[in-house]
Amino acid sequence: MVDTAVATLAFTVFTPTHNRAAVIRRTFRSLQRQQADLFEWLVVDDGSSDDTATVVAACAAQADFPVRYVRQSHGHKKTAFNLGVRLARGEMLIVLDDDDELAPDTLTRLSALWQDIPAAHRDAYVGVVGLCARADGHIVGDRFPRDVMDCTATDMFFLHGVRGEKFGCQRTSVLRQHPYPEDVPGFVPESLVWWAIAAQGLRTRFVNEVLRTYHATPVSLSTGDASASRHALGLYLLNWSWVEQQLHYFRYAPVAFLLAAARLTRFRLAARRAGHDALLKRYRVSRPWARMLVAMMAPLGWLMDRRDRRSR
């Protein structure tokens, strides 16, 4: 194991984890197949009660790349993510889940793809993103319309309609400017970060190459009735980010925006019952057209909330 600061690291592979000692070795084995001088592995343990620390120490003893293990009190993935971004030594950050694998040449390909962007233009980009495949080789979600595309994450989502799990690297310096809000309890949607970055006009290079093997795990959060009360504020923010920040894409997905406006009322009511009035005021709908849309869809949102309460 090497644990000294390396100023020239291309990547920090960052793995937030919680009680996943049984599977994190798989992630480590995929890192052993990478070019060792490109990266460090940073593990932030979110208060595990299993033997995660022992397993990571055993991995570090076998590694020919820097390994750092940091433990924090059990909070949430958002706090682990923010800590990992602050501690990262690599120019680019790769978030690799604790049960997934990199393709054998992922880091070499990401480095080459980033270097293919002319140096004078890289400040206009946040990173490189490719595809995920399941263990059986099937691609997760949609491919990109072209093999190499440069656009913002929101353009890819709304204009080109690409959905499904994707994977890549982002500039650490940009991520440090866009931390997750840690005062929001529970789930915080990733769109608050990625869409805020896109709003700055920063593009991503999208490529139709498989960079990660995805292993499905039990879903811990859904938009179903069971989650409506527990994660009401985070789900409110998810729909708020659509209506308040992305309404200029309305014509490309009108039904989705109408439903988001209805869900805004649904989860606002649940969040108010949970005592989150102060945070709701901070993330209020302020734009005139957005307010009109929410008002129009409020009856449906009220009915959704009523259904949630009856189901509980």
CATH code (residue 41): 3.90.550.10
Beta strand 11-17 pairing with 101-102: unpaired
Q: Residue 123 pLDDT more than 70?
A: yes
Question: Does one domain contain both 303 and 203?
Answer: no
Domain final residue pick, 214, 237, 266: 214
Task: Name the pLDDT band for 282 (thresholds 50, 70, 90).
Answer: very high
Q: Which two tokens stand for residue 118?
A: 């002319």
In one-letter notation, the amino acid at residue 205 is R
SS3 47: coil
Question: Does one domain contain both 270 and 302?
Answer: yes
For 149: left if phi > 0, alpha if psi spans -120 to 50, otherwise beta; the answer is: beta
Q: Give the pLDDT score at 5.
A: 44
Q: Residue 25 pLDDT more than 60?
A: yes
Residue 77 inside a domain? The answer is yes
Q: Give the pLDDT score at 2.
A: 38
For range 272-284, the mean pLDDT:
93
Residue 296 inside a domain? The answer is yes
Q: Which two tokens stand for residue 241?
A: 């980010």
Residue 2 inside a domain? The answer is no
Q: Residue 283 pLDDT more than 70?
A: yes
Question: Does one domain contain both 122 and 233?
Answer: no
d(CA 186, CA 184): 7
Question: Does one domain contain both 144 and 258?
Answer: no
Overall residue count recorded for the chain in this entry: 312
pLDDT in tens, 172-209: 999 999 999 888 888 888 888 999 999 999 999 999 99
Question: Does one domain contain both 236 and 196?
Answer: no
Question: Does one domain contain both 143 and 272?
Answer: no
Q: Give the pLDDT score at 4.
A: 40
Out of 78-87, 220-229, 251-260, 291-300, least confident range: 220-229
d(CA 235, CA 270): 10
Residue 148 inside a domain? The answer is yes
Question: Does one domain contain both 205 and 241?
Answer: no
Residue 191 inside a domain? The answer is yes
Q: Give the pLDDT score at 228.
A: 63
Task: Name the pLDDT band for 227 (thresholds 50, 70, 90).
Answer: low
In one-letter notation, the amino acid at residue 290 is A
**281 touches 236 (CB < 8 A):** no
Question: Does one domain contain both 21 and 122?
Answer: yes
Quote the number of domains for the chain: 2
Residue 5 inside a domain? The answer is no
Question: Does one domain contain both 229 and 207?
Answer: no
Question: Does one domain contain both 205 and 104?
Answer: yes
Residue 6 inside a domain? The answer is no
Q: Give the pLDDT score at 47.
A: 87
Domain final residue pick, 163, 182, 214: 214
Helix intervals (H) in 48-156: 52-62, 77-87, 106-116, 153-154
Out of 7-11, 41-45, 66-70, 129-133, least confident range: 7-11
pLDDT in tens, 53-94: 999 999 999 999 999 999 988 777 889 999 999 999 999 999
For range 246-260, the mean pLDDT:
96
CA distances in angstroms from 62 to 2, 31, 252, listed in the order given: 10, 11, 50
d(CA 305, CA 66): 49
Residue 219 inside a domain? The answer is no
Question: Does one domain contain both 93 and 181?
Answer: yes
Out of 112-121, 143-152, 180-189, 230-239, least confident range: 180-189
In one-letter notation, the amino acid at residue 274 is A
Q: Give the pLDDT score at 311.
A: 86
Tell me which of 216 and 112 has the higher pLDDT.
Answer: 112
Domain containing residue 76: 11-214
Question: Does one domain contain both 56 and 91?
Answer: yes
Domain final residue pick, 153, 181, 214: 214
Which residue's entry shows tokens 């080789």?
137
Q: Residue 26 pLDDT more than 90?
A: yes
Element (H, E) at 134: strand 125-134
Q: Give the pLDDT score at 230.
A: 73
* Cα 100 off chain centre by: 15
d(CA 295, CA 297): 6
